[in-house]
Amino acid sequence: MKLNIVKNKYNKILSLIAITLCFYGCGINKKRNSQMEVLKMTVEERVDSLLAKMTIAEKVGQMNLYNGFWDVTGPTPEAGSAKLKYEHLRKGWVGAMLSVRGAKNVQEVQRIAVEETRLGIPLLIGFDVIHGYKTLSPIPLAESASWDLKAIESSARVAATEASAAGINWTFAPMVDISRDPRWGRVMEGGGEDPYLGSKIASARVQGFQGNDLADENSIAACAKHFAAYGFSEAGKEYNTVDIGTSTLYNTVLPPFKAAADSGVKTFMNSFNELNGVPVTGSEFLQRDILKGAWNFEGFVVSDWASINELIFWGHAKDKREAAIIASRAGSDLDMEGYVYVRELVKLVEEGVVKESIVDDAVRRILKVKFELGLFDNPYKYCDPVNEEKVIGHKKHHEAVLDVAKKSIVLLKNEGNLLPLKKEGQKIALIGPLAADKNSPLGSWRIASDDNTAVSVLEGMKKYTGNTLTHKKGLDLVVGHTAFIEEVVVNNTNRDGMDEAVETAKSADVVVMVLGEHGFQSGEGRSRTNLDLPGLQQELLEAVFAVNKNIVLVLNNGRPLAIEWAAKNIPTIVEGWQLGTQSGNAIAQVLYGDYNPSGKLPMTFPRNVGQVPIYYNYKSTGRPENTNDNVFWSHYIDVENTPLYPFGHGLSYTTFEYSNFKVHGSEFAIGDEIKVTVDVTNTGNYDGKEVIQLYIRDLHASTTRPVRELKGFELTHFNKGETKTIEFTLTDKELGFFNNQGKYIVEAGDFEVFVGGSSTATLKDSFILKH
Ligand code: NOJ
């Protein structure tokens, strides 16, 4: 009988089983059939058959995730020396590694796991592929401003393609944490403040990473994180307490996670925060009751970096032993760099304190993902250095990230139509510490990309040769920063280049100023209490404004900023975020009108930090308006209630008019499909795209509803003068909400519907929903 030569040990085992079965069978056909049977086993059967062979130590090994030997992304609870890790790897006590990258490096650790351990179980290789591997897309918050789900999916596909070529089979993305607090540095990693938009984006990203078949060579397992409520860290302070009610949890925090689960995401990561007194890594309610129970999630949950160990510092577990008991019972399947399971769990199972069935369940989930990735069929499928060389940095990837970068730009203000710039005969002064910066546009979370590889705004603008372009930095934004995990040191004193910049601005027809945040001022561990332009940038802006008012302010930042003075005085403001590798090309193409901006804010911009948290879908309060001309209503006495720029806001070089808006009918029964239409006309001088947004308000409910909730959007292209009728359908899915028992209900009552180009849309219709 001809046997396939299989490379990895597990397939050898399968083949041996097959041979054995054949041996005891009777007749050659029976033998062949039996072998086929083994190879036809379902993933579940293969998992069970492997599990049956594992010792407790080997099982617990699968629940241990070690960081690699560089790129530390958190504090290590034990001096995790490489020697110890290799030793554990060889014993089969490691199921996964993170931040080992590069086809050759991955191949080496994979080889140890597959060829030197008793059962040869391949490793999961995780990495923070947050907005690309080497070729970087915009930071996720920026990308979310595109509201372009196809572009977002393609960007995740590029990331998966490059990462998989570098040996990675699992990304710690997407981050789907909803947040209303721009002080929290990690808003740059997410989809913004809205659960509806956030859910759509979560699904697009999962689809992009995982592709149509996880076994494809450029698909990697995705990870919805951080489960849950991390985005509500008190006062925007990193790693902080979260105390929110059931309504916020179910209606705001959980929907994007549910969307990710429904889209087939293979893994979840829990998180550093506590939720209402229970650190979520130890939360049975979140992980067992909701995720693995009500949602029937069949993948596994990885802890965040050492978060099982951190149960001790939260004051929830007495020691590592107790931490292991709590976390494993709660459903944290894989311990990331926490050294808790690997130290404690075997003993706990042997003593009968932790049931073996808990370990079995975790290991089953982990092995299942490994099988689905095809790692048992070819553990080296991601480890081809020749392919790596060919794939990473491919021209097509640069085209894709440029495309999504352009789509992510938001035109906040364009008074007097300073933009688009004329292409000829202009004297343009390009000023600001970020104008020639090739590093900051890469943003945070770009471990595998090379420093200073972004196209700067200067480089992008230089491609337009019809104007005279003079560049002056004016200032340094920061005095320095070291490696990726270090903090930046802001320049608050050195004004050396300022006069020269102001002088240059005097004689310019237009001044383009590129200001904002350094690339490492947002991201993990970068909470801020101030949302102004850091350092001396405001001073530079005002000094230039004093000599030339024709300013186009281009912002590069990882979070909403409070730029009230600029919003009042500067005629044109472009939100250019941190747009990744092709940043400068994208910005230049928008400035020169080769791309008509269509981005819309996924997060509210406050007037000042004191308004935070400020978000469009707030509750009315009992005193929403000043009805008696006195102070006794819900407001501040020093700033108005409205934000600087609302959620959903973004202009175009053209204009759009909305008309004939109607809900088709005035009374409906619960369960009906409600048709809503609106005509949208491009009334300006450019072809362009508009995100047509639909919001509802449930006017009276058993638990109060927000003043507006996004329930539909359509990104649509319009030629100059073109009118299109846009149709939306509202169903129970859009009209209901979770009550305080976490139950989804649809209530009869009065609804308002709004349609327009932002969350402040004024076109309104209404209907009644009846039983
Ligand atoms: C901690 C972060 O919270 C998480 O998002 C990340 O994936 C891990 N570190 C691994 O780097």
Candidate from 187, 524, 527 with most ligand 1 atoms within 8 A of CB, to mutate:
524
| CATH number of the domain enclosing 597 | 3.40.50.1700
Query: Does any ligand 1 atom lie closer than 6 A to the CB of residue 524?
Result: yes
From 292, 300, 240, select the one nearest 267 (Cα to Cα): 300
Peptide bond between residue 471 and the one before it cis (omega within 30 degrees of 0)? no
Candidate from 187, 273, 304, 485 with most ligand 1 atoms within 8 A of CB, to mutate:
304
Q: What is the pLDDT of residue 80?
A: 62
Question: At which of 611, 632, 648 does a domain end?
Answer: 611
From 73, 118, 125, 71, select the one nearest 95 (Cα to Cα): 125
| CATH number of the domain enclosing 64 | 3.20.20.300
For residues 434 and 506, what is the distance between their CA atoms, to the nearest angstrom? 20
Query: Does any ligand 1 atom lie closer than 6 A to the CB of residue 661?
Result: no
Measured in degrees and rounded to the nearest 5, phi and psi for residue 389 equal -60, -40
CA distances from 442 to 150, 506, 519, 577 (A): 22, 31, 7, 10
Residue 124 near residue 63, CB atoms below 8 Å: no
Q: Which residues contact 702 (CB under 8 A, 6 or more apart)?
A: 739, 745, 747
Query: Does any ligand 1 atom lie closer than 6 A to the CB of residue 304?
Result: yes
Is residue 289, in this structure, part of any structural domain at all? no
Is residue 554, in this structure, part of any structural domain at all? yes
Phi-psi domain of 717 (left: phi exceeds 0; alpha: psi -120 through 50; beta: other) = beta
Q: 66 C-alpha to center of ligand 1: Å?
A: 13
Dihedral angle at the C-alpha atoms of 405, 588, 598, 445, nearest 10 degrees? 30
Is residue 724, in this structure, part of any structural domain at all? yes
The ranges of the chain with pLDDT < 50 are 1-28, 31
Q: Which domain holds residue 54?
A: 41-124+279-284+300-377
Q: 3 C-alpha to center of ligand 1: Å?
A: 44
Candidate from 130, 336, 485, 527 with most ligand 1 atoms within 8 A of CB, to mutate:
336
Query: Does any ligand 1 atom lie closer than 6 A to the CB of residue 194?
Result: no
Query: Does any ligand 1 atom lie closer than 6 A to the CB of residue 382?
Result: no
Q: Are residues 366 and 467 both part of a single domain?
A: no
Residue 316 near residue 282, CB atoms below 8 Å: yes
Q: Are residues 570 and 694 both part of a single domain?
A: no
pLDDT in tens, 363-409: 999 999 999 999 999 999 999 999 999 999 999 999 999 999 999 99
Tokens at 561, concatenated: 């900023």
Which protein residue's CA is at the shortest distance from atom 7 of ligand 1?
172
Q: 98 C-alpha to center of ligand 1: Å?
A: 10
Q: In angstroms, what is the C-alpha Rg of the chain?
A: 28
In ligand 1, the atom with minimum distance to the C-alpha of 271 is 3
Question: At which of 362, 377, 392 does a domain end?
Answer: 377
Give the chain's length.
771
Q: Are strands 656-663 and 674-682 parallel, antiparallel or unpaired?
A: antiparallel
In ligand 1, the atom with minimum distance to the C-alpha of 172 is 7
From 248, 162, 247, 250, select the one nearest 209 (Cα to Cα): 162
Is residue 35, in this structure, part of any structural domain at all? no
Q: Are residues 324 and 430 both part of a single domain?
A: no
Query: Does any ligand 1 atom lie closer than 6 A to the CB of residue 189?
Result: no
DSSP bridge partners of 658: 680
Q: Are strands 749-756 and 763-770 parallel, antiparallel or unpaired?
A: antiparallel
Which protein residue's CA is at the shortest distance from atom 1 of ligand 1?
305
Q: Are residues 441 and 522 both part of a single domain?
A: yes
With vertex at residue 451, the alpha carbon angle to CA 445 and CA 453, rounded to the nearest 5 degrees, is 105
Peptide bond between residue 566 and the one before it cis (omega within 30 degrees of 0)? no
Q: 525 C-alpha to center of ligand 1: Å?
A: 11
Is residue 261, in this structure, part of any structural domain at all? no
Q: Are residues 117 and 80 both part of a single domain?
A: yes
Q: Are residues 525 and 473 both part of a single domain?
A: yes
Is residue 129, in this structure, part of any structural domain at all? no
Q: 108 C-alpha to center of ligand 1: Å?
A: 24
Q: Which residues are catalytically annotated?
A: 304
DSSP 720: T
For residues 227 and 602, what is the distance between their CA atoms, to the nearest angstrom? 21
Which protein residue's CA is at the shortest distance from atom 9 of ligand 1?
305
Is residue 546, in this structure, part of any structural domain at all? yes
Q: Are residues 409 and 504 both part of a single domain?
A: yes
Query: Does any ligand 1 atom lie closer than 6 A to the CB of residue 697?
Result: no
| CATH number of the domain enclosing 744 | 2.60.40.10
Tokens at 98, concatenated: 């993170």
CA distances from 1 to 4, 18, 19, 37, 571 (A): 10, 12, 10, 16, 80
Query: Does any ligand 1 atom lie closer than 6 A to the CB of residue 645?
Result: no
Total domains present in the chain: 3
In ligand 1, the atom with minimum distance to the C-alpha of 175 is 5
Q: 448 C-alpha to center of ligand 1: Å?
A: 15
Q: Are residues 528 and 590 both part of a single domain?
A: yes
Q: What is the pLDDT of residue 487?
A: 77
Query: Does any ligand 1 atom lie closer than 6 A to the CB of residue 337?
Result: no
Q: Are residues 589 and 504 both part of a single domain?
A: yes
Q: 305 C-alpha to center of ligand 1: Å?
A: 6
From 137, 121, 120, select the one nearest 171 (Cα to Cα): 137
In ligand 1, the atom with minimum distance to the C-alpha of 226 is 5
Q: Which residue has the tokens 């003079």?
A: 470
Query: Does any ligand 1 atom lie closer than 6 A to the CB of residue 267?
Result: no
Q: Are residues 677 and 761 both part of a single domain?
A: yes
Q: Are residues 494 and 602 both part of a single domain?
A: yes
For residues 605 and 563, what is the distance between their CA atoms, to the nearest angstrom? 9
CA distances from 62 to 375, 397, 407, 640 (A): 14, 34, 42, 55
Q: What is the pLDDT of residue 77?
A: 73
Query: Does any ligand 1 atom lie closer than 6 A to the CB of residue 172?
Result: yes
Tokens at 396, concatenated: 């097509």
The amino acid occupying position 139 is I
From 270, 265, 253, 258, select the one nearest 333 (Cα to Cα): 270
Residue 55 near residue 15, CB atoms below 8 Å: no
Query: Does any ligand 1 atom lie closer than 6 A to the CB of residue 66?
Result: no
Alpha helix (H) ranges present in 373-394? Answer: 385-391
Question: At which of 542, 577, 611 does a domain end?
Answer: 611
Q: 610 C-alpha to center of ligand 1: Å?
A: 29
Residue 270's SS3 state is: strand
Candidate from 66, 129, 170, 172 with most ligand 1 atoms within 8 A of CB, to mutate:
172
Q: Which residues contact 496 (CB under 8 A, 6 or more apart)?
A: none
Is residue 312, in this structure, part of any structural domain at all? yes
Which protein residue's CA is at the shortest distance from atom 3 of ligand 1?
304
Tokens at 27, concatenated: 């007749």
Q: 226 C-alpha to center of ligand 1: Å?
A: 9
Q: Are residues 586 and 443 both part of a single domain?
A: yes
Residue 132 near residue 159, CB atoms below 8 Å: yes
Q: What is the pLDDT of residue 73?
A: 73
Query: Does any ligand 1 atom lie closer than 6 A to the CB of residue 230?
Result: no
CB-neighbour burial class of residue 522 (10 A; exposed 0-12, middle 13-18, buried 19+): buried
Query: Does any ligand 1 atom lie closer than 6 A to the CB of residue 73?
Result: yes
Query: Does any ligand 1 atom lie closer than 6 A to the CB of residue 128?
Result: yes
Q: 237 C-alpha to center of ligand 1: Å?
A: 16
Residue 158's SS3 state is: helix
Residue 573's SS3 state is: strand
For residues 336 and 127, what is the distance between their CA atoms, to the nearest angstrom? 12
For residues 546 and 501, what is the distance between their CA atoms, to the nearest angstrom? 12
Q: 76 C-alpha to center of ligand 1: Å?
A: 13
For residues 560 and 601, what is the distance between their CA atoms, to the nearest angstrom? 9
For residues 343 and 328, what is the distance between their CA atoms, to the nearest angstrom? 13
Residue 618 near residue 248, CB atoms below 8 Å: no
